[in-house]
Every structure is written in structure tokens, then in C-alpha cells.
Structure 1
Amino acid sequence: MVHGARLLLPVALIYPNKVNNKSQQPRLDRLGAYPFERLKALFAGSHGNTELDHIDAGAGEPRLPLPAFVAPTLQQQLAGFSKYPSTIGGMELRTAIAAWLVRRYGLSDVNPSTQVLSANGTREALFAIAHALVNPDAEKLSGRKAYVMMPNPMYQIYLGAAYTAGAEPYLLACNHQTGFAPDLSNVPDEVWADTALVYVCSPSNPTGWIADEAYYAELLALADKHDFYVVSDECYSEIYWADKPAGLMQVAENLGREGFSRCLVMNSLSKRSALPGMRSGLIAGDAELIKRFSKLRSYTGPATPLPLQHVAAAAWSDEPHVQAHLEVYRQSLEAFFDVYGGDIPAGSFFVWLPVSNDEAFSLAAYQQQNVTILPGSYLGAEDAQGINPGSGYVRAALVDGPDAAAELARRLKQVRV
């Protein structure tokens, strides 16, 4: 499959004065500073209010107790550190992942040999997948680059993946007017025709939006019509307020798509099991895409150490700790909004709060209340009209339990800009 080989409108007609200049820069030079590096620069020379204990709500780093099985499982498997692990993951782990996918989404079958890979966390996998699915010669063939479509604001890995894979990001604004859903209705057919892949994040980081079955179905119909792939980042699938989120593979099977065609799903133990330091996740879906990605990762993909694979297999096989975590996150969301006011997001443990100026508010929150949050504009990018949909919002992570969430809300209400 070759993306970018069709004759399309000049890029300048879609992104005037934006892509034309920047697309000629070396790929790495197009990457801006990562959001947390920008936050450090914003805080440089400032000091948090030392009369208050610091609350770090900037990073989405769960800080819940380790599940009880982690330490004993790791202790039993220490000898595995003396062996090289495979980048695709051992069969025990892949079988546990496949079994979890079947249980969680009611799937008829997932083949652990051909439809599942282990990931060293999903960050590297979400980044590398664009390098497996984008044709780097697309511009030579058609005079323009292939598109990688993504929500805006977004997990910034998507943007970096598009740039470094030699693609052009196409940004789907997620704002209050769209209910924070990436709007598919206004994308020109000329853009769809040259799209290599679309990233979906559900539940969304940072907005908390959740894709329903109809959304996935619409996207898959477009993928069939225009010949592209769908990569679903489902890292927050087990953190939700009311309704359990649907998954891409679930929708694909319900639609009768044999073998999850065109679909790849990525998920992680970082959020589901509050084990971000494990660096363990999954890649699952279309066997042909798994085979293609496995080939790339055999050269570039970091492998999860064998002892950690055993812990990961235990984590994917255990549900009580996940339900306990979910209850903490629900209590935290309720505690925060009982104090702060507003609507509880449908999914994830982030709150996405409107403010007058996101950088000024974040800096004031640190200086006045010793709170670290992230300006929303750091998670977005400017569109062709120079609009960043993340501007005017801040993201705060509720990762320390309900008491800390309530205290965070009290402090943020006192911030004055």
C-alpha cells in the first residue's frame, strides 16, 4: 500500500503560510520543546508558595499503591534479568494480553501469536507506528506529503511521530463546539485521499472525551473508502466516570471486519494498573499491520525485561486492583468538582478547565498556591488560522486520591491572574 501517490491540491491551499515554510525544515527541527520542558521554562526564576505543600498535578503519573502481586512476582522472576527479552514479548505475556482483550471487549478471539505485540510502554509504540505506516517517499511520488491525522489538543507524541516519519500532521480541532470530539465532517476529500493513518485517543488526553461506537464506525468507513489505517490510543480505557468505553477492536468485530482490518489498538499498564514505571503495554489488531510493525520494532523497539513481562502478565490477568483504582479515580473526580464546580469528564483522570490565559494561570497557580498544572496550549498546535484549541485551558491530573483532589480544587479556585 502506497500513501501519498495521488495527485492532490497543493498543500498551500489547505495550510496557507503554515506548511509551505515549515515543511522544508529538517524533520527534527520541526519538533518543538516537549510540554514539560516548556513548563520548566515558564517556571524558571519563579518559586512556589513555600507556606503550602506542593501539589504536582502536571504529569499524568498515577501514584496509587502497587498491586499486591507485583513484588512477589518480580522476586520469583529475578533470574530473567540475565536473559535478552524479545521485542515482540514472550508468549505468556501475549496470551495474557489476548485473554484480557477478549474479556474486556467481548471479542470472539484474539490470536496472541499474530495479533498481539508487547510494547515497552505505549509512548514508543505510538511514536514508531507512524514510521511503519507512512510512506516516506510519498512527497516524491505526488509532490506532497502523506497526512497523519490527529486530535488537537493531543498527546504530543502523535505530532512528533508525524514530523519524524516525513508526514504532514492534519489537526482535528477538539473544542467546546464539537463536544471535544475530533470533527471528521469538515475534512476535505482531498485530504482523506492522502491520509496514511489517523490517531484516536479515547478516553481523551487531555479533554476526557470518549469515542462511541458510531464515531469509530464512521472512521472505519472512511478508512475503507480512502485507504488509511486507524491507530487507537486506549491507555485510559479503564478510567471513566459512568459508562465503560467502547474499544476500536470491539467496534470492528461488531461491524464484521474480519481480523480487525485496518485497526491497531495500543494500551498500557501505566494507567490501568498504576504502573507507569513498568514501561509495559500492548499493541493489538490487524495481523498484517502487526507483522509489519514487528519487523520495524525488531530493529528499533526496546524490549520489556523478562521479569517485568511476568509482572505484566499477572497485571493483565487481574481485575480487582483495576476496579479498586477506578473507585479512587471516581471519588477523586467527584471530590474535585464538588469544590470547583462544573461537569465531570466522561473519561481519564484529567480535568480540562477553561481559564482566561493558560500560561498566566499556570504560573500564578505555582507562585500563589504551589500547584503544578499544565497550560493547555502546550498540548495543542496552531492550525492554519493560527488558532491553538488548547489555549485558554489548563490540564490537571487527579492522581493522589480524593482528599488531594479536593485540596487542589480549593487552591485553583483561589488563583488570581
Structure 2
Amino acid sequence: MSHTDQSRQVRLEQLGAYPFARLKTLLAGRHPNPELPHIDAGAGEPRLPLPDFVAGTLAAHLDGFSRYPATTGNDALREAIAAWLMRRYGLARIDPATQVLSANGTREALFAIAHALINPEASKKPYALMPNPMYQIYLGAAITAGAKPFFMPCTSANAFEPDLDAVPAEVWADTAIVYVCSPSNPTGWIADHAYFTRLIELADRHDFHIVSDECYSEIYWQQAPVGLLQVAESLGRTDYARCLVMNSLSKRSALPGLRSGLIAGDDSLIARFAKLRSYTGPATPLPLQHVAAAAWSDESHVEQHLMLYRQSLKAFFAAFGRGEPPFGSFFIWLPVANDEAFAVAAYEQQAITLLPGSYLAADDATDHNPGAGYVRIALVDGPDKAAELGRRLKAMSGLS
């Protein structure tokens, strides 16, 4: 086995089980309360009505299954994405040919981007910064790309904002990439204009790239979140230097099975990523690209979904009787005494599947896991089930 192969094997061995595999193990041999209908609030999988245009658009383009799709996305899809970005964020211009790519779901893109932008030979050990807790794809991407993860703590003490001040100067000096998630999975925190501005200034000073995961951008309690490209343009950076954003139709349009998202920003980074994906990236089938173009071009279904998410949040907290909705996303980040024990009890007593918060975080330098003591609850089935979730959880012990 070559040294390179051994290095890859060691990196893979550093990865723990994925959160839902851990949850499956935790609940193995246990049974939900048979007297109650099961509610799956574990996965962030929207289960809302299918938008009206999906079936007709798909039927009109079935012949596309007989052709290979381009990994970059067809012209119509990239143009629809660019048009949405300009409408949504007030951008003056974004070039669909050079500043936009299609993604086969942003999970793939968020993972692969680290392999395009991180060069483990460029320094002793380049860092990949990420929030903690986090979407675990960031951690897997950093490790397999040969970077060293550095965790920015997100706790109630700092309103769950990834703490830039917690990053030592020597880490900034050797940083290759920073992941930011706004609105946050799982905490619901939203980055403001000042946060993105500071991050861009740090990127210029220390020569790193910013990857902004904005998959929950259309799910918010009050005010629509700002985006990284929006802030970059306000600073006069119409080339979006050092900045990439990713977004998805899984959450915006409640189409997780479509496997379609976007990558946009700095054209030099887009070109690097496009080259990597021409070898490795799975391409979205052409009929599904046409559905995706229709989804990015329509806002009425997004407005309907947002109304349902807000109604679900309101219904949950009215039934639960305490707490407030998160600023963004459809997740409740609920404090509990012991997250694994609470998840087991919720399953056995109330027939609810939810995710222990420690599975969405990593131990920091002091062996503290900032997700411990929380569970993530996904409100993805509409207001009635959200209210039922609130009632059942309210009846449980073990709440913090």
C-alpha cells in the first residue's frame, strides 16, 4: 500500500458513524409506544405538499432521461439560479456561465468543495473552520481532504453564533476554508451583515475561502436572512472573491428527493470546483434539472411553505408552553438533561424519533461536546403534528 493510500485510509478511519447511524444503534431493540402514532422528528426531511408544477414539468421532459446530463447543469437551470440569486439578494449581476454551478444536492457539494480548495501539502496542516454543533458533512469533508478541523463553539452564552474570537491567530494564519451555516442547522442562528463583513475581512487578511451553507435561507421566523454574496456585493466585491454559497431545493421547495442545489460565487473557485466535479460529481438528470429550473423560478410555493413552517413553529410552542421559535430553520434546539436518554425516552414513551444534539457536534479541546444536553426536533409535517409533538414532549420528564 502506498503512503498516499495509507493516508486516505487513516483519514477515513477518523470518521465516526454518521448521526443517523448512531441514532439507529441507540434505538436498536427498543420499541415506540404502540398506543401512539409514530412521529419522525429526527430527519430534516420536509414532508409538505408537492408543488403543482413538478409533475407537469417532469412529464414534458421525460425524453431527457435518454441523454447524459452535464455536471455543471444545463443553461436553463444555471440561468434560473442566477435570476433567483439576483431577485432574492438584490445582486446587480451574477454570470450563470462562470459564477454558477448545479449541485446534485448540496450534501455532495459541501463535501467535495473541501477537496477542491484544500491543499494538505501547502502547509504543515491546513485548518478547516466550522461551527460546533454543525452539519456533520463539514467535519467529514475536512478530515478526508487532509485538513485539521477547528471548531468554533456555538453556545447559548453567545446566542449560538460561531465564535470568531475563539480562533487563535496561529490558526487563522493557516486556515484554508471556513464553513458557515446561516440559518444554522441545528441551532437556528442567523448571520447578520456585520458577521459576514468581518468574515470577509478575515479571509482577505489570512487568505482563506468562505463556504456559506444557506440551505435554510427561505425558512425564517421574521426577517429574511442576508446572504454572503449580498454582503460581498455591498462591500464592492462584485467578483465575490473568496466567497462561495450553496443552497438547495430540498428545504426551499420541500423537494429533498430531487437532489438539486446550487453553487455560486467567485468564478475562479467555481472553475476549480467544476474541474473536480467533471471527474467526480454526480450530475442531476436532465428532466430533474428542468423541474429544478421551474422551482427556482417560482415563489408562490415557497411562500406557502414558509407560512406552514411559521404555523408549525407557532403551534409547537403554543402546545409546549415555553420557549420561542428559532430565528431560522424548522429545527427546535431543545435543552434537556441528557440528550441520549431523552431521545430513548421520547421514542419509548411518546413514539417520537428525535436526534441527540451530541451527535451533531464534536468534542472541543477540553473534551466538551457543545451539543450534549440538547435534542434536535424537526418540524417537517405541518402544524397539526407540530402541536402534537409539543403536547407529547411537554408531558415528559428530563427537560432542562
* TM-score, scaled to structure 1: 0.93
Q: Could you tell me which residue of structure 2 aligns to residue 378 of structure 1?
A: 359
Q: How does 1:12-411 map to 2 (within 5 A)?
A: 26-138=10-122, 142=123, 144-340=124-320, 341-411=322-392
Q: For the residues of structure 1 that align with 2:83 and 2:194, how far apart are their CA atoms?
A: 25
Give the AA of the match of 2:298. D
Contact kept? 2:152, 2:166, Cα under 8 Å:
no
* TM-score, scaled to structure 2: 0.97
Contact kept? 2:58, 2:288, Cα under 8 Å:
yes
Identity score, percent = 72
Cα deviation, residue 258, structure 1:
3.0
Alpha-carbon deviations, 1:276-331, whole Å to 9, x = none? Answer: 00000000000000000000000000000000000000000000000000000000
Pairwise CA RMSD of aligned residues? Answer: 1.0
Bigger shift: residues 210-219 or 24-33: 24-33
Alpha-carbon deviations, 1:209-259, whole Å to 9, x = none? Answer: 000000000000000000000000000000000010000000000011131
Give the AA of the match of 2:221. W
Q: For the residues of structure 1 that align with 2:79 and 2:167, how far apart are their CA atoms?
A: 39
Q: For the residues of structure 1 that align with 2:387 and 2:12, how far apart are their CA atoms?
A: 41
Q: For the residues of structure 1 that align with 2:38 and 2:251, how far apart are their CA atoms?
A: 22
Q: Tell me, what secondary structure is at the counterpart of 1:258? A: coil
Q: For the residues of structure 2 that align with 1:401 and 1:24, how far apart are their CA atoms?
A: 43
Cα deviation, residue 416, structure 1:
2.9
Alpha-carbon deviations, 1:95-120, whole Å to 9, x = none? Answer: 00000000000000110000000000
Q: Tell me, what secondary structure is at the counterpart of 1:260? A: coil
Q: For the residues of structure 2 that align with 1:322 and 1:258, how far apart are their CA atoms?
A: 27
Cα deviation, residue 339, structure 1:
1.7
Q: Tell me, what secondary structure is at the counterpart of 1:171? A: strand
Q: Tell me, what secondary structure is at the counterpart of 2:195? A: helix
Residue ranges of structure 2 left out of the alignment (5+ in a row): 1-6
> 4+ residue stretches of structure 1 with deviation over 6 A?
none
Cα deviation, residue 73, structure 1:
0.3
Q: For the residues of structure 2 that align with 1:245 and 1:24, how far apart are their CA atoms?
A: 38
Residue ranges of structure 1 left out of the alignment (5+ in a row): 1-22
Q: For the residues of structure 2 that align with 1:107 and 1:120, how far apart are their CA atoms?
A: 24
Q: For the residues of structure 2 that align with 1:183 and 1:193, how far apart are their CA atoms?
A: 17
Q: Tell me, what secondary structure is at the counterpart of 2:247? A: strand
Q: Could you tell me which residue of structure 2 aligns to residue 412 of structure 1?
A: 393
Cα deviation, residue 338, structure 1:
1.1
Cα deviation, residue 25, structure 1:
7.6
Contact kept? 2:128, 2:149, Cα under 8 Å:
yes
Q: For the residues of structure 1 that align with 2:309 and 2:394, how far apart are their CA atoms?
A: 21
Aligned length: 391
Q: For the residues of structure 1 that align with 2:30 and 2:397, how far apart are their CA atoms?
A: 16
Contact kept? 2:180, 2:212, Cα under 8 Å:
yes
Alpha-carbon deviations, 1:15-46, whole Å to 9, x = none? Answer: xxxxxxxx998000000000000001000111
Give the AA of the match of 1:273. S
Alpha-carbon deviations, 1:68-105, whole Å to 9, x = none? Answer: 00000000000000000000000000000000000000
